[in-house]
Amino acid sequence: MDSGQKDSRPQPSGLAAALNLIWQRHLPEIEDRLAVLESAAAATAAGTLTAEQRQAARAAAHNLAGVLGSFGLVEGTAPARETELHYAAKSVADPQDGSHLAGMAAALRVLVESRNRPQTPAQ
């Protein structure tokens, strides 16, 4: 019996729409956390990373590790966690670590931006 609906599974699309709405609400905070990581990586490379920047980067990476997985971006959890552990473990910034940290921050940004692209419906 046809009820006039295109999709017989309204729950997943409703859940996806709710997750997208939550994602959009939290996106500015997620982008701020990415900016913290990018700034800390640049400061690390320049040899100017402060204790405050280190702590902010550790906290931003920790939060991203959790939130990305919650929104289905589980491939971002490992680099975010590695970044968190780096900033938590090292008391003195090694400028040689800057490019690696910048690369992880860039990869996380690409991942977040991929979540923002409209998805084409499966046919």
Find where tokens 């609906």 sit. 5
Render the burial of 55-85: b for 16+ CB within 10 Å, e for the rest.
Answer: ebbbebbbbbbebbbebebeebbebbbebbe
Comparing CA positions, the residue from 5, 70, 79 lying closest to residue 41 is: 79
Q: Write out pLDDT tens, residues 42-70.
A: 999 999 999 999 999 999 999 999 999 88
Is 80 inside a domain boundary? yes
Residue 39 lies in a domain: yes
| pTM of the model as a whole | 0.81
Of the pLDDT bands very low, low, confident and very high (cuts 50, 70, 90), residue 94 is confident
Domain hosting 64: range is: 16-116
| Domain total of the chain | 1
pLDDT band at 6 (very low <50, low <70, confident <90, very high): low
